[in-house]
């Protein structure tokens, strides 16, 4: 049975060869992965720092006219307030109605855990449909109902006949995967199972037009448009400015662009099958759905690193252009854009030269960014990827060739990061959001690897990133002052050890 036919999606820990514990250097990283020794590594001490449910929630909350039902104890919804404000601003920046995300909780208590929570889930589904009239209801299945064995699939199936909305469920108990990126597969699986990806006759198009032998022009037009349409898959870590920049570059190749699946809607998702090519901006995020769309609709896909840094953008854009026979056009666009970027960066580059930078975050993004920072003349003294899987192999092969001596770790662990900071004393840290409070407490300046406030991808992204780097390198009094007033929660003995001393051989 295909994984897409299964009731619940597999977690990445079983779907892919994946690892979250490694320490070595650029030159032997990929070899270690190819030989399999990397995937045997583990930690004797490990701190959980994220729940995969939260990432699925992040994606579902962006879908227009939807309601989220957390089938959970009330505490699982604690993140909804911050998440809702991010989603609101994301909608606003994309020109969508910024109706705040509607979410409900089944508020599971002791009696639900003992007797089952299906009854309250049914009541909540009917209430959500009647009260809010959404287009889609996402039931988010958390740890508690998964442990007690609530049959959410059956509840969703039977209730779909009693309500007007489309309904699906996201199976994402936080305990089930150590790799939070499993959340992306869970969200896409929920769409694949219950949301329509094909245009609806007499709603989205008139089938009589295509059947009419005197209307050949309509069919030719349709085929022409579909043949130059690209589906671009976005992510929470890709902000509206990034989307605008990438659409700008693809439009310059004379391609139509449809963006899925965040900030989309039931009506828009019916056009997912209407494209010549699916393009990912981040393979960690999208490989699950792109492989499905190829299997189901025969739409090929391109997963090619990320459009970060001049070399990365060129490679990414040319790979898409080559599908449409437009490589030369893409090369010319890149030549022109690089010239403009070089002129704009001139004033900042002297401030960056030779500065020592430590990088941490998503597996593909940090590798692409490390190469970009080297291009800019910075000294990359370490790269920490949140996890590693074989999908990132080609990016790390290139990184290993360009930066063979750079220490490379696979880690989300804060205690390891703080230790590495103290040991390596970088000038600046580029890290995933969520770590910057702790970095500031150690006294080091840092900037976000991505965030909603400014562009990161494409040429505009590189310009904004460099400008921010130069500013932070010059203005780091805040973290210096803060660190003098804060006592870190680590013993002195921890700093005498190697940051990755808890990583051990063999699972
Ligand atoms: S780990 Fe489980 S219990 Fe904790 S927030 Fe996530 S889904 Fe809820």
Tell whether 347 and 484 lie within a shared domain: yes
Q: Say which range, 66-75, 150-159, 450-459, has the weakest mean pLDDT.
A: 450-459
Q: What mean pLDDT is predicted for residues 97-115?
A: 92
Q: What mean pLDDT is predicted for residues 285-295?
A: 94
Structural domain contains residue 117:
yes
pLDDT at position 391 is 84
pLDDT(124) > 80 = yes
Q: Which of 188, 168, 186 is nearest to 177 (CA)?
A: 186
Q: Band the pLDDT of 295: cuts 50, 70, 90.
A: very high
Residue 169 DSSP label:
E
Structural domain contains residue 186:
no
* φ and ψ at residue 453, rounded to 5 degrees: -80, -25
Q: Of 338, 367, 386, which residue sits at a domain end? A: 338
117 CA distance to ligand 1 middle (Å): 16
CA dist 104 → 77, 80, 159, 183 (Å): 9, 10, 17, 20
Alpha helices per DSSP H over 228-282: 240-252, 266-269
Tell whether 334 and 358 lie within a shared domain: no
Ligand 1 atom with the shortest distance to the CA of 54: 6
CA dist 113 → 73, 148, 151, 156, 172 (Å): 9, 7, 13, 19, 18
Structural domain contains residue 440:
yes
3-state SS of the chain: helix, strand, coil percent to 5? Answer: 50, 15, 35
Q: Band the pLDDT of 507: cuts 50, 70, 90.
A: low
Structural domain contains residue 127:
yes
Q: What mean pLDDT is predicted for residues 373-384?
A: 95
pLDDT at position 34 is 87
Q: Of 155, 177, 199, which residue sits at a domain end? A: 177
Mean pLDDT of the chain: 93
Only one residue has tokens 């990414």, namely: 316
Q: What mean pLDDT is predicted for residues 379-395?
A: 92
Structural domain contains residue 19:
no
Tell whether 164 and 149 lie within a shared domain: yes
Give kind and range of the element (H or E) at residue 53: helix 52-60
142 CA distance to ligand 1 middle (Å): 6
Residues in the chain: 507
Most confident of 36-45, 280-289, 364-373: 364-373
Give kind and range of the element (H or E) at residue 260: strand 256-260
Of 56, 78, 79, 143, best ligand 1 pocket probe by most atoms within 8 Å of the beta carbon? 143
- In the chain, the number of structural domains is 3
53 CA distance to ligand 1 middle (Å): 7
Count of CB atoms within 10 A of residue 221's CB?
A: 11
Residue 205 DSSP label:
B
pLDDT(370) > 90 = yes
pLDDT at position 465 is 96
Alpha helices per DSSP H over 298-413: 309-323, 327-345, 349-352, 363-375, 393-402
Tell whether 361 and 500 lie within a shared domain: yes
Range of the domain at 296: 207-338
Tell whether 237 and 152 lie within a shared domain: no
Structural domain contains residue 486:
yes
72 CA distance to ligand 1 middle (Å): 8
**In percent, how much of the chain has pLDDT > 90?**
74
Q: Is 73 exposed, middle or buried (0-12, 13-18, 19+ CB in 10 A)?
A: buried
Q: Which residues does ligand 1 sit against, CB inside 6 Å?
A: 51, 53, 72, 76, 142-143, 173-175
pLDDT at position 196 is 97
pLDDT at position 203 is 92
**Rounded Cα–Cα distance for residues 278 and 280 (Å):** 7
pLDDT(51) > 90 = no
| Nearest protein CA to atom 3 of ligand 1, as residue | 143
What are the tens digits of pLDDT across the range 208-226? 877 777 777 778 888 899 9
Q: What mean pLDDT is predicted for residues 242-248?
A: 96
Q: Which of 146, 150, 170, 155 is nearest to 63 (CA)?
A: 170
Q: What mean pLDDT is predicted for residues 107-130?
A: 96
**Rounded Cα–Cα distance for residues 191 and 208 (Å):** 29
Beta bridge partners of 383: 359, 408
Q: Which of 170, 147, 150 is nearest to 288 (CA)?
A: 170
Tell whether 324 and 461 lie within a shared domain: no
Ligand 1 atom with the shortest distance to the CA of 72: 8
pLDDT(147) > 80 = yes
Only one residue has tokens 């007797």, namely: 115
347 CA distance to ligand 1 middle (Å): 47
Q: What mean pLDDT is predicted for residues 381-410?
A: 91
Q: Of 160, 177, 194, which residue sits at a domain end? A: 177
Structural domain contains residue 6:
no
pLDDT(31) > 80 = yes
Q: Which of 464, 505, 457, 468 is nearest to 242 (CA)?
A: 457
| Nearest protein CA to atom 8 of ligand 1, as residue | 76
Tell whether 482 and 352 lie within a shared domain: yes
Count of CB atoms within 10 A of residue 497's CB?
A: 11
Tell whether 389 and 415 lie within a shared domain: yes
Tell whether 403 and 270 lie within a shared domain: no
First-to-last C-alpha distance (Å) of the chain: 28
**In percent, how much of the chain has pLDDT > 70?**
100
Tell whether 292 and 379 lie within a shared domain: no
Q: Which residues lie below 8 Å from residue 29, measured CB to CB, with a gap of 6+?
A: 22, 38, 396, 399, 400, 408
199 CA distance to ligand 1 middle (Å): 36
Tell whether 381 and 455 lie within a shared domain: yes
Identify the CATH number of the domain in which residue 218 sits. 3.40.50.1980
Count of CB atoms within 10 A of residue 172's CB?
A: 32
What are the tens digits of pLDDT across the range 444-456? 999 999 888 889 9
Q: Which residues lie below 8 Å from residue 333, measured CB to CB, with a gap of 6+?
A: 249, 252, 253, 317
Structural domain contains residue 183:
no
pLDDT(36) > 70 = yes
What are the tens digits of pLDDT across the range 298-314? 999 998 889 999 999 99
What are the tens digits of pLDDT across the range 460-496? 999 999 999 999 999 889 999 999 999 999 999 999 9
pLDDT at position 65 is 95
Tell whether 106 and 218 lie within a shared domain: no
């Amino acid at each position: 049975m295909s994984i897409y036919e299964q009731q619940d999606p597999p977690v990445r820990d079983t779907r892919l060869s994946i690892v979250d514990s490694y320490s070595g250097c650029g030159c032997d990283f990929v070899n270690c992965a190819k030989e399999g020794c990397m995937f045997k590594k583990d930690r004797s001490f490990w701190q959980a720092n994220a729940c995969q449910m939260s990432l699925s929630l992040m994606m579902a909350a962006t879908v227009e006219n939807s309601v989220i039902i957390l089938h959970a104890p009330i505490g699982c919804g604690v993140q909804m307030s911050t998440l809702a404000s991010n989603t609101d601003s994301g909608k606003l920046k994309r020109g969508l109605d910024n109706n705040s995300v509607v979410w409900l909780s089944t508020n599971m208590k002791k009696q639900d855990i003992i007797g089952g929570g299906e009854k309250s889930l049914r009541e909540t589904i009917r209430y959500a449909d009647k009260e809010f009239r959404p287009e889609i209801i996402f039931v988010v299945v958390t740890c508690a109902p998964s442990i007690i064995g609530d049959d959410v699939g059956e509840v969703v199936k039977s209730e779909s006949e009693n309500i007007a909305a489309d309904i699906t469920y996201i199976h994402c108990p936080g305990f089930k995967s150590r790799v939070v990126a499993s959340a992306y597969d869970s969200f896409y699986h929920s769409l694949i199972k219950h949301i329509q990806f094909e245009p609806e006759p007499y709603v989205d198009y008139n089938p009589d037009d295509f059947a009419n032998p005197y209307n050949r022009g309509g069919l030719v037009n349709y085929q022409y448009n579909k043949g130059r349409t690209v589906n671009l898959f976005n992510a929470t870590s890709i902000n509206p400015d990034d989307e605008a920049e990438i659409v700008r570059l693809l439009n310059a190749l004379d391609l139509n662009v449809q963006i899925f699946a965040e900030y989309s809607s039931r009506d828009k998702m019916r056009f997912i099958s209407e494209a010549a090519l699916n393009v990912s901006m981040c393979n960690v995020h999208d490989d699950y759905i792109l492989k499905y769309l190829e299997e189901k609709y025969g739409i090929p896909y391109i997963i090619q690193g990320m459009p970060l840094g001049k070399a990365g953008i060129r490679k990414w854009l040319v790979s898409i252009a080559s599908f449409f026979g437009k490589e030369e056009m893409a090369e010319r666009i890149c030549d022109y854009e690089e010239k403009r970027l070089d002129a704009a960066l001139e004033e900042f580059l002297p401030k960056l030269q030779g500065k020592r930078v430590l990088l941490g975050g998503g597996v593909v993004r940090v590798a692409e960014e490390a190469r970009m920072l080297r291009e800019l003349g910075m000294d990359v003294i370490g790269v920490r990827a949140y996890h590693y899987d074989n999908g990132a192999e080609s990016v790390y092969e290139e990184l290993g060739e360009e930066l063979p001596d750079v220490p490379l770790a696979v880690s989300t662990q804060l205690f390891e990061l703080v230790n590495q900071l103290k040991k390596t004393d970088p000038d600046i840290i580029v890290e995933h959001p969520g770590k910057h409070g702790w970095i500031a407490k150690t006294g080091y300046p840092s900037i976000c690897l991505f965030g909603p406030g400014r562009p990161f991808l494409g040429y505009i992204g590189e310009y904004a990133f460099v400008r921010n780097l130069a500013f932070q390198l010059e203005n780091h009094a805040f973290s210096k002052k803060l660190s003098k007033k804060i006592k870190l929660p680590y013993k002195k003995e921890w700093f005498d050890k190697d940051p990755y001393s808890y990583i051990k051989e063999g699972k």
